Amino acid sequence: MNAAAQNLDVIGNNIANSGTVGFKSSTASFADVYASSRVGLGVKVAAISQRFTVGTVNGGGGEYDIAIDGAKGMFRVTDQSGAVMYTRNGEFLVDKNNFIVNAQGYRMTGYPAGAIGANPVELQLPTANVAPQATSTATTVANLDANAKVIYTTDTVTTPAVNGSVTLTAVAPPAVTGTYTFTRNATGDIAWVTTPPDGDYGAAPNLITIDAASANPGGIAAGDITQVAGYTNYTAAVTELGKPFDPKLSDSYTNASPMTVFDSLGNSHQVMQYFVKRPAVGGTSVYDVYYTMDGQAMAPTTEAGGVWGNPQQFTFNNAGTLTSAPTVTLSFAQPGGTATPADPLSIAVNYTGTTQYGSNYKLVAKPDGYTSGEFSGINISGDGSLVASYTNGETQVVGTIVLADFANLQGLQPVGNNAWKETAASGQPILGQPGSNGMSTVVGQATESSNVDMSKELVNMIIAQRTYQANSQTIKTQDEIMQVLMNLK
């Protein structure tokens, strides 16, 4: 009857803890009691065995809840005295000192950041801001429109290739300064159909031509304009006005794009890239690229007295492929100025993949570096990594959960609060990172339910109850026999 009562106690304990996270049910094992001088001494509880089967993993837990998704592994925790215990209960929270603890105040242990395999330590979440990182590299992929207009640095005499208009300035009387619209016929002849500003040359639609042999191809001298009855075989020489680069003048560059970078203090700066299409050299397209940071020249670009120089030159073949060196190193000596001095900036910009095709301009820049950020939360990876998130969008691993396994789980000593201690029978713990060394993975914001099978426990309780009642009948019968013996007197 005593053994049956203990069995009922075990079953009752299982049922009572059916809702306990990470609880492992127990089973009473029996053995008969036998003496050489006497048989039938009854039954005894030989052992209380625990079933370390896996419970169901349930999501939707708290921010710091963790479930072990598999049979191999237990959380390693320490109590207030530093004693080490092991548990499958993954209901954790953060105490006032930012340690990860369970409801009993036991602290979770793990590997320090970047030290997998080191001696486990009590895991503590960061409180300080993450340090800024200065920008050192950037990848930039662009397409420069092959049909963009050439921008000249000096005045250049050219021959218009298509119909259009040009402004001509008189250099001597009669004054005929003005904008003239021209058309070119199939053989390349030029005819001017706009009435000159000076009425001496007749009214529209009289045709005029520009004599390319003029000593002043950039202007119109007396006699350079001739009234004709039709097209004449003249070639018009037109002066393209040069536009030296100036970031304040949009018509002095072809395209421009910004890129945000950070200095060693985490302060942000805007780097501008100015692409200027130049005349082709042979079969090679040429671009000058100027750089500024916060409006000031950024090396290799120079600026002195409003004159900008030393651009980086990009070249493209007739297939639109970049043929110049793809990496440009930009530098700025004092990114924070004298008020907030920071380390000099040096940024290697890689333009691999940049093209010049006949489509719209597009540029995508991806610089590294970031400003400082405050701790905002934690994510738990399947490999046990504690990944801290910061307000600047950056993340970093601040520690790794350690799991422990034993050669003989039955040898562990239960100490209450869903925890066990190591014993000589269990053997020493085998430690490892989740997902490695045979350990199970973990699931963040989830818990492992108990492995109690309620239907099975209720059946076991009925069997134990019948066993108890049957044994009580044995005692009752023995009592009746004793009464009969007593009455024989």
Residue-wise pLDDT for 312-361, tens only, equals: 999 999 999 999 999 999 999 999 888 888 999 999 999 999 999 999 99
Predicted local distance difference test score (pLDDT) of residue 233: 34
HSE of 179, CA atoms in CB hemisphere, 13 A: 3
**Torsions phi, psi for 413 (to 5 deg):** -100, 120
Question: Are 86 and 426 spatial neighbours (Cβ–Cβ below 8 Å)?
Answer: no
Two tokens, residue 8: 């009922």
Two tokens, residue 370: 């970031």
Two tokens, residue 290: 């100027």
Whole-number Å distance between alpha carbons of 358 and 374: 46
Q: What is the CA radius of gyration of the chain?
A: 44
Whole-number Å distance between alpha carbons of 366 and 23: 49
Sign of CA dihedral 39, 40, 45, 51: positive
Residues in a beta bridge with 5: none
Question: Are 448 and 21 spatial neighbours (Cβ–Cβ below 8 Å)?
Answer: yes
137-150+248-367 CATH pick, 3.40.50.300, 3.20.20.150, 1.10.1060.10, 2.60.98.20:
2.60.98.20
Q: How many residues does the chain have?
A: 489
What are the structural domain ranges in the chain?
A: 2-52+451-487, 60-124+401-447, 137-150+248-367, 156-240
Whole-number Å distance between alpha carbons of 97 and 94: 8
Predicted local distance difference test score (pLDDT) of residue 469: 77
Whole-number Å distance between alpha carbons of 163 and 159: 11
The tens-digit pLDDT sequence of the chain (489 residues) is 677 778 788 887 778 878 777 777 778 777 777 776 666 677 777 777 788 888 888 887 788 999 999 889 999 999 999 999 999 998 999 999 999 999 899 999 999 988 998 999 999 998 888 889 999 999 999 999 999 999 988 877 665 544 555 444 443 333 444 455 555 554 444 444 444 443 333 333 333 444 333 333 344 444 444 433 333 333 445 567 789 999 999 999 999 999 999 999 999 999 999 999 999 998 899 999 999 999 999 999 999 999 999 999 999 999 999 999 999 999 999 998 888 889 999 999 999 999 999 999 999 999 999 999 999 888 999 999 999 999 988 889 999 999 999 999 989 998 988 899 999 999 999 999 999 988 999 999 898 887 777 888 788 788 877 877 777 777 777 777 777 777 775
Whole-number Å distance between alpha carbons of 443 and 69: 7
**Torsions phi, psi for 463 (to 5 deg):** -65, -40
Q: If residue 483 lies in a helix (H) or strand (E), which one and from where to where? A: helix 454-487
Cβ within 8 Å of residue 270, ≥6 positions away: 258, 259, 260, 261, 293, 294
Residues in a beta bridge with 111: 400
Question: Could you write out the DSSP letters of every residue in 209-259?
Answer: EE-TT-S-TTEE-TTSEEEESS-------EEEPP----TT-GGG-SEEEEE
